[in-house]
């Protein structure tokens, strides 16, 4: 059993906060990845994908309180944080291929996968294409299974945030109404928040709008019937980006999803707003006995081998 123990955090700056993890690099055939890493190398592998206008830094409040028996890794996705920047490559399918290059390079054969926001779409795409790699799937305030449409006015605002730091700061603040979290003082959170604003401002220019545009072309509602692996859907009750109805549609479309966990009083960013609550939910989920799912997974694979259409894109 994995037990979560939260001790008092004494963090005077975001640089001090970063000492709780290592920040290695891995170059693949697709891009050079920067990622953050926590816990023991032989711990339970937990991979975390951030959302739009974010980076691996968003996972620090959550991962800093995880027990060392969980080996958490959070990459900076294409165009974000310190990973390679490019003008192309932001389609969800391409980013899932990026992520496969990372996990293959790290030699990870099976792990629990968490996706937040647009990172949820990448996690879903990866799980559909490489289902044997994923032990369980956790979707945190994720883009719904049918993708998301951003109108022209919204894309114009996203583009404006490239040059307007005040607008970018306000947009990010709106995603986390329940801050500071209990693990940070107000002063500590201000330092942390300015660091995530800085990360967002430094993204590849194309990344400000390209992910939103890609999500209008991505829809896995039909293929979702192939997601028979254990899946947890988590939603902040005050999320202004993804509403409960959208999360429910994903829940009903994914056979492996049994419940929608609603975090009361939390917005779009539970890993920052409520890291302790989110950690408790995820630890409980990934340490469950999933034997009951094996029959469903075997059945889905057998159907696919018989050509009956399991909904899985490839293996």
Averaged pLDDT, 154-177: 98
pLDDT tens digit string along 43-94?
999 999 999 999 999 999 999 999 999 999 999 999 999 999 999 999 999 9
Please tell me the predicted confidence (pLDDT) of residue 291.
Answer: 58
The confidence score (pLDDT) of residue 178 equals 98
Is pLDDT of 202 > 50? yes
Overall average pLDDT of the 159-184 stretch: 97
Banded pLDDT at 298 (limits 50, 70, 90): low
CA distances (Å), origin 126, targets 2, 31, 54, 134, 273: 26, 17, 19, 9, 27
Q: Is the pLDDT of residue 12 over 50?
A: no
311 pLDDT band, cuts 50/70/90, is very low
Question: For residue 26, what are its two tokens?
Answer: 């891995």
- Residue among 169, 223, 175 at smallest CA distance from 201: 169
CA quadruple 254, 207, 29, 111: dihedral, nearest 10: -30
pLDDT tens per residue, range 209-260: 999 999 999 999 999 999 999 999 999 999 999 999 999 999 999 999 988 9
Q: What percent of the chain has pLDDT over 90?
A: 83
Residue 303 pLDDT > 70: no
Q: Are 196 and 168 in contact (CB under 8 A)?
A: no
Nearest CA to 80 out of 102, 52, 99 is that of 52
Q: What's the rounded Cα separation, in Å, for the pair 294 and 302?
A: 12
Q: Which fold has domain 14-292?
A: Rossmann fold (3.40.50)
Residue 187 burial (CB count, 10 A): 12
The pLDDT of residue 2 is 55
Q: How far apart are the first and last CA of the chain?
A: 31
């Amino acid at each position: 059993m994995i037990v979560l123990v939260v001790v008092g955090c004494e963090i005077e700056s975001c640089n001090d906060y970063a000492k709780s993890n290592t920040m290695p690099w891995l170059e693949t055939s697709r891009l050079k990845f920067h990622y953050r890493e926590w816990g023991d190398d032989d711990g339970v592998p937990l991979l975390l994908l951030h959302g739009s206008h974010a980076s691996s830094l968003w996972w620090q409040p959550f991962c800093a309180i995880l027990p060392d028996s969980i080996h958490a890794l959070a990459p900076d996705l294409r165009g974000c944080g310190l990973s390679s920047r490019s003008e192309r490559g932001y389609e969800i399918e391409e980013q899932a291929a990026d992520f496969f290059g990372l996990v293959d390079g790290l030699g990870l054969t099976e792990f629990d996968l968490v996706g937040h926001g647009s990172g949820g779409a990448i996690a879903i795409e990866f799980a559909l294409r490489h289902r044997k790699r994923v032990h369980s799937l956790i979707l945190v305030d994720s883009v719904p299974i049918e993708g998301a449409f951003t109108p022209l006015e919204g894309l114009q605002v996203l583009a404006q945030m490239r040059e307007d730091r005040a607008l970018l700061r306000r947009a990010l603040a709106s995603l986390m109404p329940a801050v500071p979290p209990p693990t940070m003082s107000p002063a500590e959170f201000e330092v942390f928040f300015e660091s995530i604003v800085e990360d967002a401002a430094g993204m590849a220019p194309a990344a400000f709008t390209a992910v939103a545009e890609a999500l209008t072309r991505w829809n896995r509602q039909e293929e979702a019937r192939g997601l028979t692996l254990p899946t947890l859907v988590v939603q902040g009750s005050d999320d202004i980006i993804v509403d409960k109805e959208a999360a429910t549609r994903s829940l009903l479309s994914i056979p492996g999803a049994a419940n929608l966990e609603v975090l009361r009083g939390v917005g779009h960013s539970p890993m920052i707003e409520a890291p302790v609550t989110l950690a408790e939910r995820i630890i409980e989920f990934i340490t469950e006995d999933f034997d009951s799912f094996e029959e469903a997974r075997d059945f889905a694979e057998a159907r696919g081998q018989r050509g009956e259409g399991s909904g899985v894109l490839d293996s």
